Structure formats: C-alpha cells, structure tokens
Structure 1
Amino acid sequence: MPSPLEAQAYLPQGNLIVFDGICILCSGFARFMARRDRKAGFRFVDAHSKTGRALYLAHGLDPDLMETNIVLLDGKAFIKLASFTAAMRSLGWPWRVLTVLDLLPTGFGNWLYDRIARNRYRFGQRTCPLPSAELKERLLD
C-alpha cells in the first residue's frame, strides 16, 4: 500500500468520480452520471482499484472503509453529501435543483450520508459489476 505521498504518482488529472464498484447504489450513481454528464467530462475510477485506493489516501480517507464517493471537479475534491451535490451541480437543469441539499447543516448532511453509506450493501451488492457502455468508455482503472 503506497503512502499518501507515493499515492500522488497514481493520481489522474481532470474531473473524476471515485465510486465503490460493487455497491449497487454507488455503481448506479456512476452509471447515472456517465449517461447525463455532457459538460464536466467526468472520468470514473473504481475505489477498489490501485488508482482508486491511491485517491482515497491522497484525500486523507481510509481506502478499506470506502465510506464515500469522491468527486474531483475543477481541481477541488468533494466527499460525502458534497460529492453528490457537486456532481448534480455539474449536470445543470433539472438535476441542479438537488443542490438544495447543500442548505442542510454540514454535520447533519454528512450524518445522513454516513447512514446510507454504512448500509449500502443491504440494498444489494454485485459480485461481477457490469458497467454500462457510457461508463465503460470513461472508466480509468
């Protein structure tokens, strides 16, 4: 496992979404974004990959817990609820309306996000994730 400093060598540039590829909610979010993202040009990284783990480390997150998606947009990293709202903001209308969630107090929004993240495998898990064609074209690792 590389250190956070060594992890920098693995970091791709540009707008990225790092997601848990075996979580149905997380991979569904990635497929949703791949279909609708016309402006930001997101590329995608499975959190289980070497690059995904390096990105978790680089942003001070535990790559074994995978408790949040990471959205890297215009050089800024967003985690937890802010990752979702940053992604929705990048899509424009009508999805941008979901940024109303930014009005929640950060502590409460992150608490809510954490409850969903901790229970995400109860919604289902894929043993062999099959990305959509749109996602597969932009999947890095």
Structure 2
Amino acid sequence: MNILYFDDKCIVCNGFAKFISRIDRKDAVRFASVDELKEVMPKGFDTVAYYSDDLYIHSDAVIEVVADASGISAVRLSKIMPACLRTAIYKWVARNRHRFTGNKTCTTDQIDSEVKKKMISS
C-alpha cells in the first residue's frame, strides 16, 4: 500500500494531498496524518513522508508520490538534481509554509473530501 503522510493541519500540505488525490487515476495512494510517524521520525519532523517500497522523506517523498500517482515514472529523473540542493529547497519551503499562508491552519473538516475518503488514519 502506498501512503502519503502529510501535515493535516497545514494548508500547503493539504493542497499537496488534494493535488495527489486528483492525479491518482489508479487510486494507488492512501493518506494519513504525519503524526502517525512521530515515534519513528526525527523530532520536529512535520511535513510529508511517503511509503511505497521504502519510506521517503523531503524532496524524495514529493518526487516518488508524484511519480506513483501520475503514473509518469520520468518524474524520477528530477533526482538528477543533487539531493543536498533538492533537500535545501524543500526544507526552505517547509520552514516557511505557514508564513506563506498567513499562519492559517486547517481543521479535520477542511481536508478535501476526496482525500478524506482515502484516509487510513485520523
């Protein structure tokens, strides 16, 4: 089972989950709160992780879930960019995501209905 763990309280992360749900034509991706991983992830990790054949974090998670959901494996070619650069960009966006949205947060009832249908946890 492919699972995208995302910060269900973050507008940016919810938007990303909604995007993945829309491009997931084969219904291959399920969703869960990143809080489900708090015991196994580094302290303070609160953005997205993706589990398919392995557990991916940061930019690798974004690349892998987009490739799996869209069915376009060529998306993985973006891994040609050095991981340190991809991760730095990802972490900058993740660090500033709340500022981009004016510190607005989501509640459970604001999660997209299509994403909610595919949630496997709270």
Range class of TM-score, shorter chain: 0.7 to 0.9
- TM norm structure 1: 0.73
| Secondary structure of 2:5 counterpart | strand
**Percent identity between the two aligned chains:** 26
CA positional deviation for 1:47: 2.2
> Is the Cα contact below 8 Å between 1:21 and 1:46 reproduced in 2?
yes
With a CA cutoff of 8 Å and minimum separation of 6, indicate the structure with the bigger relative contact order.
2
- In structure 2, relative to structure 1, the CA distance for the partners of 1:38 and 1:127 (3 Å cut) is closer
Deviation by residue 1:49-82 (Cα, 9 ceiling, x = unmatched): xxx2xx2422x322x441x3100013x1110000
Highest CA radius of gyration, 1 or 2?
1
- Count of paired positions: 117
- In structure 2, relative to structure 1, the CA distance for the partners of 1:127 and 1:138 (3 Å cut) is closer
Deviation by residue 1:88-115 (Cα, 9 ceiling, x = unmatched): 111124xx55434311111111111111
RMSD value, Cα: 1.9
CA distance in 2, matches of 1:45, 1:107: 27
The 5 Å alignment of 1:27-106 reads 27-39=14-26, 41-48=28-35, 52=36, 55-58=37-40, 60-62=41-43, 64-66=44-46, 68-74=47-53, 76-90=54-68, 91-93=70-72, 96=73, 98-106=75-83
Stretches of structure 2 lacking an aligned partner (at least 5 in a row): none
Aligned to 1:135: 115
Pair 1:126 & 2:108 matched = no
Stretches of structure 1 lacking an aligned partner (at least 5 in a row): 1-13
| Secondary structure of 1:111 counterpart | helix
Match of 2:12 among 25, 42, 50: 25
Deviating above 6 A after TM superposition, structure 1's stretches of 4 or more consecutive aligned residues are none
